[in-house]
Amino acid sequence: MDQARIRNFSIIAHIDHGKSTLADRILELTEAVSAREMREQVLDSMELERERGITIKAQAVRVSWKGHELNLIDTPGHVDFTYEVSRSLQACEGALLVVDAAQGIEAQTLANAYLAIENGLEIVPVANKIDLPAADPEGTAVEVADLLGDDPTRVLRISAKTGGGVADVLDAIVERVPPPAGDVDAPTRALVFDSAYDQYRGVVAFVRVVDGSFSTREALRTLATDTRFDAEELGVFSPAMTPVERLTAGEVGYVVTGLKDVSRLRVGDTLTSVRRPAEEALPGYKDVKPMVFAGLFPTDSDAYPELRDALERLKLNDAALVYEPETSNALGFGFRCGFLGLLHMEIVRERLEREFDLDLLVTAPNVAYRVQEKNGGWVEVHNPAEFPREIEEVEEPYVAASIIVPKEHVGAVMELNNDRRGTFGKLEYLSPERVHLTYELPLAEIVLDYYDQLKSRTRGYASFDYDLAGFKPGNLARVDVLVGGEQVDALSLIVHRDFAYDRGRLLVDKLREEIPRQMFDIAIQAAIGSRVIARETVKAKRKDVLAKCYGGDISRKRKLLEKQKAGKKRMKQVGAVEVPQEAFLAVLNIGQGQKS
């Protein structure tokens, strides 16, 4: 199709502001899908996403409107996937900025809107849910226009739920979003903006063709990683996968690569033709680095091979996931995994448990640290148990946090951020009622329970987003936990010195509650280096017998004994001490749940 008749756009919206509903209406209105065959929300294909109301993997749908070909490119909605969002936006010339007229702009919307503006996209602002009694279309229009430096009258007022105004949205896309402007005759360049793994067909790449064109069975290669493959099938989503013979500059579609490993086809890479390769890659490829780390261990140590296979398979369609084998004296064999952020970690964990039926122990998450060893160079540490005891200096990652909150909750937010070692940035009024706060915070302070705390202290009104903002020196200490004199590596943590005592005390108290009494006294200690900062003792049992045992009791007592023996085998052994798995779970939960 003539590029002049193509419009590529995505939808930027906060969760629950109506992105999926609007996408559904667009599909209905353009008759891409009949009402009958339509599921509630077509674009959210994964079960997990539907439950969480978020979208992990972007997809693209082609629809027709008044002689034009419109490609709707879906974007993930969460901060952990900023990189993926930016790649999706790069595949578009325009974006719908959808704001709930009853809620106003949220922190996430702001972040993604800025991202779209940076990418040079034409923004079409939309005030949604104007049918709600609480809606304030005019106020929202002013807020959005302010943000964009646009005229409030150009903000579309719609109700995706009733369908009112959706046709105007499609018209606005055709009128305002510029057509693609690639060179059809130049060597082929296509941006890989997402990929997925299909167990029968291998890696499927979602691409935006920028220059030139390519066809089915053509030999292709990527410019950044130099991966080569033949295009087994080309096609578009309308919304079902529909094969086409050719994809040309300006078009959006998919390529079935036959590759068996998604890491060989990285998001952001450029596809070109082997026969007539392009010289220069499209801008934007970067290796995303995980910032949050946690150990994943099977609760049943026999399940280690299953966990390894599951991670391998997950990695096939999640290039951002990294992992390496880890051995813990307490938890056995597992993997230290790196994630883009907390949500990414949650999703990986849930998928492992749900799709692969694994029971996992997950250690408290930690961030990446940069450590200068005494008389040594700088190293990056991803595991508290590997944190050197003798250090010259340590740096930890910081984030630039953006929080939008009704003005009456500003005090609560400031208090929370102060507790979390935050540095105030600025405060601005988005409207007479709503305030935008910026803070610089250590990433380590938000990986635990920051978001829950923020929500509960603002009665759910705060919205939050962050961007990584580099490393800074920190006054940090490694706290170790010792049970019966043996260090429990899985419970080591890196913490600011001011919080070290409280955290150590909490861990020790919890372990004392959870470790059953045994045949000897068990010392439980928290220590920084050789200095013990908290101590408790689990007293030895003084008796442990089955009182009587005569002829009629033998079978029952034997079965009890066998059960007890089997229980012992399931216990994790720390030195001579048997620690039930529940103890680790409980302690890991306080690591994740609360803060003194």
Partner 1 sequence: MARSTTEAGDGVTGGARHLYVHLPFCAHRCGYCEFVTATGRDHLHGAYVDALLRELAEEHDGGPVDTIFLGGGTPTYTALPELLRLLRALPAAAELTVEANPETVTPQLARELRDAGVNRVSLGAQTFEPDLLEVLERRATPVDVERAFARLREAGFDNLSLDLIYGIPGQTPQRLAADLARAIELGPEHISAYELEAKPGTRFTIAHGAELERQAEQMEDYFERVVTALTAAGYRWYETANFCRDGKRAEHNLAYWLGRDYLGVGVGAVSTLGGERRRNTPRLARYLQGDYDREFELLDDETRSRERVMLGLRLDEPLPLRGLRSALDPEGLARAEQLGLAVDGGETLALTRRGRFLGGGVTAEIVA
Q: Name the burial class of residue 486, with classes exposed (0-12), middle (13-18) and buried (19+) by CB atoms within 10 angstroms of its CB.
A: middle
Grouping H, G, I as helix, E, B as strand and the rest as coil, residue 559 is helix
Question: Which is closer to partner 1, CB of 374 or CB of 541?
Answer: 541
Binding segment (CB under 8 A) for partner 1, from list 245-253, 369-377, 438-446, 517-525: 517-525
Interface residue with partner 1, options 199, 226, 545, 596 (CB under 8 A): 545
Told to check if 570 binds partner 1 by CB under 8 A, we report: no
Question: Which is closer to partner 1, CB of 276 or CB of 556?
Answer: 556
Binding segment (CB under 8 A) for partner 1, from list 188-196, 288-296, 386-394, 559-567: 559-567
Told to check if 240 binds partner 1 by CB under 8 A, we report: no
Give the C-alpha separation, 312 to 329, whole Å: 24
Interface residue with partner 1, options 51, 408, 521, 562 (CB under 8 A): 562
Give the C-alpha separation, 525 to 574, whole Å: 13
Told to check if 520 binds partner 1 by CB under 8 A, we report: yes
Told to check if 537 binds partner 1 by CB under 8 A, we report: no
Closest CA to 3 of 269, 189, 192, 213: 213
Taking the complex as a whole, the smallest distance from the CB of residue 299 to partner 1 amounts, in Å, to 21
Range list of H helices, 458-537: 497-514
Question: Which is closer to partner 1, CB of 1 or CB of 519?
Answer: 519
Give the C-alpha separation, 390 to 38, whole Å: 61
Give the C-alpha separation, 347 to 321, whole Å: 11
Question: In terms of residues, how long is the chain?
Answer: 596
Taking the complex as a whole, the smallest distance from the CB of residue 520 to partner 1 amounts, in Å, to 6
Interface residue with partner 1, options 518, 532, 581, 592 (CB under 8 A): 518
Binding segment (CB under 8 A) for partner 1, from list 220-228, 234-242, 529-537, 552-560: 552-560
Taking the complex as a whole, the smallest distance from the CB of residue 565 to partner 1 amounts, in Å, to 5
Find out whether the peptide bond into 137 is cis, omega within 30 degrees of 0: no
Question: Which is closer to partner 1, CB of 66 or CB of 556?
Answer: 556
- Residues in contact with partner 1, counted by CB under 8 A, come to a total of 25
Q: Which residues pair with 480 in a beta bridge?
A: 527
Query: 1 to each of 7, 9, 456, 460, how far by Cα in Å?
Result: 11, 17, 52, 47
Grouping H, G, I as helix, E, B as strand and the rest as coil, residue 422 is coil
Told to check if 549 binds partner 1 by CB under 8 A, we report: yes
CA 390 to chain centre: 33
Give the C-alpha separation, 176 to 156, whole Å: 12
- Asked if 296 contacts 337 with a C-beta cutoff of 8 angstroms, the reply is yes
Closest CA to 581 of 504, 485, 514: 514
Interface residue with partner 1, options 561, 570, 585, 589 (CB under 8 A): 561
Question: Which is closer to partner 1, CB of 217 or CB of 563?
Answer: 563
Grouping H, G, I as helix, E, B as strand and the rest as coil, residue 560 is helix
Taking the complex as a whole, the smallest distance from the CB of residue 576 to partner 1 amounts, in Å, to 6
Taking the complex as a whole, the smallest distance from the CB of residue 298 to partner 1 amounts, in Å, to 22
Residues interacting with partner 1, by CB under 8 A? 518-520, 541-552, 554-555, 557-558, 561-562, 564-565, 568, 576
